[in-house]
Amino acid sequence: MFTIEVDSKTVETNGSETILSVCKREGVHVPTLCHMEGFPPSGACRLCMVELEGSSGLVPSCSFPVTKGMKIKTRSPKVLAARRTIVELLLSNHPDDCLYCSRNQRCDLQTLAAEFGVRERHYIGKKNNRDMDVSSPSIVRDPDKCVLCGRCVRVCEEIQGVSAIDFIHRGPKAVVGTAFETGLNVSSCINCGQCILVCPTAALTEHSYLAEVVAALSDPNKFVVVQHAPAVSVTIAEEFGIKPGKDADGQMVAALRKLGFKRVFDTSFTADLTIMEEGSELVKRIQSGGTLPMLTSCSPGWIKYVEQFYPDFIPNLSTCKSPQQMMGAVIKTFFAQREGLDPSKIVSVSIMPCTAKKFECAREEMGRDYVQDVDYVLTTRELGQLIRMFGVDMMEVEPDRADTPFGMRSTAGKIFGATGGVMEAAIRSAYFLLTGKELKELRVQEVRGLEGIKEAKIKIGDLEVGVAVASSLKNAAQLLESVRAGRKDIHFIEVMTCPGGCIAGGGQPLHGDQNAIKARMQALYQIDRDETLRVSHKNEDVARLYQEFLGAPLGEMSHKLLHTHYHKREVLV
């Protein structure tokens, strides 16, 4: 322990930190574009420069370790001028079209320009005029808006272990791109959208389907229905300036209705349905010696990852479709029949915390007779935009409930939104399916929380079931490698592509830090604490759906509508 001086204030440090982390702890604002919490510093943007007494130039605080007695100035005229110049240089070849930009008012570069009072174009560089990449159904890349901070490259490599993108070329020609500069659609990109969340500008955004949804809503010949994912109700309020952790389920349902959707369904209902199918599948695999460990299949980024990088594990993937696709399937079959609607007239929209869902809904496995089960997927952010566009005051509307027949849900279906939630829900129901009794303690603490890999042993009757939960694909790969190396004690693995699960999905509100993710998670578990229907197999509407339409879990109808198979995928890896 020793002290250093920051802006003439004496500050204690343990000596193994960087200047930036000391400043952050002390509440001294140091701007940065490339720094990411939990990653080693890259020192790419130079915005975090500070003045160090005795040093001739400025030093980058993100990568500069503290030394005893050092004296730092973070807001001297020299520092501020240098930072302003850096912003001006970044702007020199920037498209400069903020008013027309999808990140207007949410852009880190714009914020910095405002903070530093950039008022003139001191440097006017040549604009790049590179092509946008709109090939992916999930993610749009606009290289002209890229500031080469490298956050997307690092998330893709270090969190997801995918590395679909990297720095290509050098110097003024450098871009972030895929191998051979192809479109994202043929790259190894798994569409998770984590790159969008860390991008400081609009270089990476979701592929928006707002125009299509707006058009459908105004078409009198279409019957537009909507489903919303478990993780959306606990984040949508953030789009309207409410602090993270507020569950706005009722208001969101009411707002969706005001937008003109004819029916509002809760994807948590089909999460319960997923549990019935997936739980039965797990039980069947354990009892009949099927391929184990079984891997969950709710997260479409993860599915594509397995198809590309671990095709030998495809037999391990649960054949269950994701809750979104199950909902899509029952809407265009059971619901259409019940209401006497022509399935081709139904436009099925889903609100997801996820960009990969946009890819999933267009997969050839996900529909029948050339009709997609889910037509358009909007992210939480796009829903926020739609609500603003239609002038609905979401926080003021009278709360409402989702529609029958797919509106009732258990809290087990709701906690799907957090890492470990699918596992917990599955354990609750698998226990009942195997023993005919309810678990005494429904809360499975071992699979909760934000750790990357969680494991537990669950005693069900005389059977000990080994379960593991991974969030982020780097962690998932670690688990798969251990299974490949011969681990036999795991029966069931839940994988969520995004670190933390859907509450931290690539379609969620921007600028959600670790605290925001924790708050969103707490909001989900609060719902689980507060309500009484806490297991999927007691959802009466699910039971009725089986009775009236599907038959039994894993039955013929389920097999046709709710299950699918995946295939090895050739991409540039």
In the residue annotation, 195 being an active-site residue is answered as no
557 makes contact with another protein (CB under 8 A): no
Whose Cβ is closer to another protein: residue 101's or residue 473's?
Answer: 473
Q: Which one of the spans 115-123, 178-186, 222-230, 522-530 is the region binding another protein (CB under 8 A)?
A: 178-186
Whose Cβ is closer to another protein: residue 168's or residue 214's?
Answer: 168
Upstream peptide bond of 399 is cis (omega within 30 degrees of 0)? no
The helix/strand/coil state of 405 is coil
Smallest distance, another protein to C-beta of residue 299, A: 21
Whose Cβ is closer to another protein: residue 156's or residue 524's?
Answer: 156
Q: Which of 408, 402, 332 is nearest to 370 (CA)?
A: 332
Are 62 and 20 spatial neighbours (Cβ–Cβ below 8 Å)? yes
DSSP code of residue 145? G
Give the 3-state DSSP-derived string for 284-296, with helices as H, strands as E and coil as C: HHHHHCCCCCEEC
170 makes contact with another protein (CB under 8 A): yes
165 makes contact with another protein (CB under 8 A): yes
From the list 98, 118, 179, 362, which residue makes contact with another protein (rule: CB under 8 A)? 179
Chain-centroid distance of CA 106 in Å reads: 18
In the residue annotation, 281 being an active-site residue is answered as yes
- The footprint of another protein on residues 186-205 (CB under 8 A) is 187-188
From the list 124, 132, 389, 573, which residue makes contact with another protein (rule: CB under 8 A)? 573
Size of the site for another protein (CB under 8 A): 18
User: In Å, what is the CA distance from 122 to each residue of 87, 92, 108, 118, 501?
Assistant: 11, 8, 20, 9, 44
Pairing verdict, β 139-141 and 204-206:
antiparallel
164 makes contact with another protein (CB under 8 A): yes
Whose Cβ is closer to another protein: residue 187's or residue 564's?
Answer: 187
Catalytic option among 281, 382, 424, 494: 281
From the list 157, 212, 339, 455, which residue makes contact with another protein (rule: CB under 8 A)? 157
Q: Which one of the spans 26-34, 160-168, 443-451, 481-489 is the region binding another protein (CB under 8 A)?
A: 160-168
Q: Which one of the spans 157-165, 204-212, 298-306, 409-417 is the region binding another protein (CB under 8 A)?
A: 157-165
From the list 111, 163, 208, 404, which residue makes contact with another protein (rule: CB under 8 A)? 163
Q: DSSP string covering 460-478, please?
A: ETTEEEEEEEEESHHHHHH
User: In Å, what is the CA distance from 245 to each residue of 237, 314, 501, 519, 526?
Assistant: 9, 36, 15, 4, 10
Length of the chain (residues): 573
Smallest distance, another protein to C-beta of residue 188, A: 7
169 makes contact with another protein (CB under 8 A): yes
Q: Which one of the spans 80-88, 165-173, 389-397, 465-473 is the region binding another protein (CB under 8 A)?
A: 165-173
Q: Which of 394, 354, 409 is nearest to 252 (CA)?
A: 394
Rg (CA), the chain: 25
Q: Cite the DSSP H helix spans in 131-203.
A: 151-154, 194-198
100 makes contact with another protein (CB under 8 A): no
Q: Give the residues lining the site for another protein (CB under 8 A).
A: 157, 162-170, 177-180, 187-188, 572-573
Catalytic residues: 278, 281, 298, 318, 357, 360, 365, 502
